[in-house]
Amino acid sequence: MSRRIEKVPVALGERSYDILIGQGLLAESGALIGDVLRGRQAAIVTDDNVARLHLPSLQASLAKTDITHTAIVLPPGEATKSYASLATLCDRLLLANIERRDLVIALGGGVIGDLAGFAAAVLRRGVDFAQIPTTLLAQVDSSVGGKTGINSPLGKNLVGAFHQPRLVLADLDLLTTLPQREFAAGYAEVAKYGLLGDAPFFDWLEANVQAILDGDAKARMHAVKTSCEAKARVVAEDETETGVRALLNLGHTFGHALEAATGYSNRLLHGEAVAIGMVQAFRFSEWLGHCAKGMARRVAAHLAKAGLPVATAQIPGSLPPPHDLVAIMRQDKKAVAGRLTFILARAIGETFVARDVREEDVTAFLAADLAQA
């Protein structure tokens, strides 16, 4: 079998690193990790689901090197991004004698990546860290860019740090065991990169979504690589989100409100909330007159083809009224004087940050939108 590894560099000065994308990378991970390891040992952090499916392959590959390693297996799910899990994880890393030059390896989705990355950021004031993302969402989004953290009872991702990995290994083969619903949720973030700044990529996705869903390796490679390049470009320009990085939040102001309203439960996965949120962002842009009519319809048709919900009516159970959703947004985004920040669109592939959207416009739009759905 001919094998291809694509490399996407993330240019952050002395904190620069590579994202390697390909098939069969896990089986070669020992050697690849050996290339960046400064110390002697590694601690793998993963969850039960991923451990069952993919931990043996990583361990076997590390066993072929002289890197000593331990594995710490945590329960799956968002609840693991907690203070309690962070404390347990830090103590277990200390017990394993992980030193600053050793490596914490996050093997899992965004939950494991965010938690393990944050533990690595604070343990001994910062130990080295690598990501082996196992969900599509983690491969195209959460493993790239160095945002790490946990949830507080007061809100999601409120406690965290920027801590860049030394290496990201995105093995496309790992996606074959991912449940279809999780794959679709990650796909929302792939489509996001086209919508926020790359119209030709969105055109390509429209033509290739079925191949991507069907597991076509070439199509998946192109989708993951283009997404990582887009995120790497934005992160290199604005590492700590003072400017353009905000564009990555397309669909997330509406989406976060829906996630909060549904209690971050199985009713609505993050990517599903983002899919609905992106359609709403385009509808809102049309409603405000920024964008030609018909764009939102095209966005919705594409996301629906990927198996994603595109309207609030598709969320099981009832939702709070528009006024309450706006109240959630206000809290989420620390609105200033009745003004909210949204990522709005002029066209597919052309978005901008609007920092002065009036709350009453959002409420009126949502009332019309929810009635229509």
Ligand X SMILES: NC(=O)c1ccc[n+]([C@@H]2O[C@H](COP(=O)([O-])OP(=O)(O)OC[C@H]3O[C@@H](n4cnc5c(N)ncnc54)[C@H](O)[C@@H]3O)[C@@H](O)[C@H]2O)c1
The smaller minimum CB distance to ligand X, of residues 153 and 289, is found at 153
The radius of gyration of the chain from alpha carbons, rounded to an integer in Å, stands at: 20
Q: For residue 154, what are its two tokens?
A: 């007061």
Q: 69 vs 231, which CB is nearer to ligand X?
A: 231
Residue 131 belongs to what H/E stretch?
Answer: strand 128-133
258 binds ligand X (CB under 6 A): no
Q: How many CB atoms lie within 10 A of CB 217?
A: 13
Is 216 among the residues that bind ligand X (CB under 6 A)?
A: no
Task: Please give the angle made by the CA atoms of 328, 302 and 24, to the nearest 5 degrees.
Answer: 95
Looking at the Cβ atoms of 47 and 369, the one nearer to ligand X is: 47
Query: Considering the rule CB under 6 A, would residue 19 count as an interface residue with ligand X?
Result: no
Alpha-carbon distance 193 to 202, whole Å? 8
Q: How far is the CB of 64 from ligand X (least distance, A)?
A: 22
Q: Does the footprint of ligand X cover residue 157 (CB under 6 A)?
A: yes
Using the rule CB under 6 A, give the single segment among 4-12, 120-128, 142-150, 296-304 that binds ligand X. Answer: 142-150
Tell me the closest approach of the beta carbon of residue 153 to ligand X, in angstroms: 15
Which residues are known to be catalytic?
125, 147, 189, 231, 241, 245, 249, 252, 256, 270
| C-alpha 327, offset from chain centre | 25
Q: Is 194 among the residues that bind ligand X (CB under 6 A)?
A: no
- Interaction pattern, residues 78-117, with ligand X; x per rule: CB under 6 A: x--x--------------------------xxxxx-x---
Identify which of residues 134 and 280 has a Cβ nearer to ligand X in the complex: 134
CB atoms within 10 A of CB 83: 12
Residue 137: left (phi > 0), alpha (psi -120 to 50), or beta?
Answer: alpha
CB of 106 to ligand X, least distance (A): 10
Using CB under 6 A as the binding rule, whether residue 265 contacts ligand X is answered as no
One DSSP character per residue, 255-287 reads HHHHHHHTTTSTTS-HHHHHHHHHHHHHHHHHH
Could you please report the per-residue DSSP string of 32-72? HHHHH--SSEEEEEEEHHHHHHHHHHHHHHHHTTT-EEEEE
From 76, 307, 320, 349, residue interacting with ligand X (rule: CB under 6 A): 76
Binding ligand X (rule: CB under 6 A), the pick from 18, 45, 47, 89 is 47
Residues interacting with ligand X, by CB under 6 A? Answer: 47, 49-50, 53, 76-78, 81, 108-112, 114, 134-135, 137-138, 141-142, 145, 147, 157, 174, 177-178, 182, 270
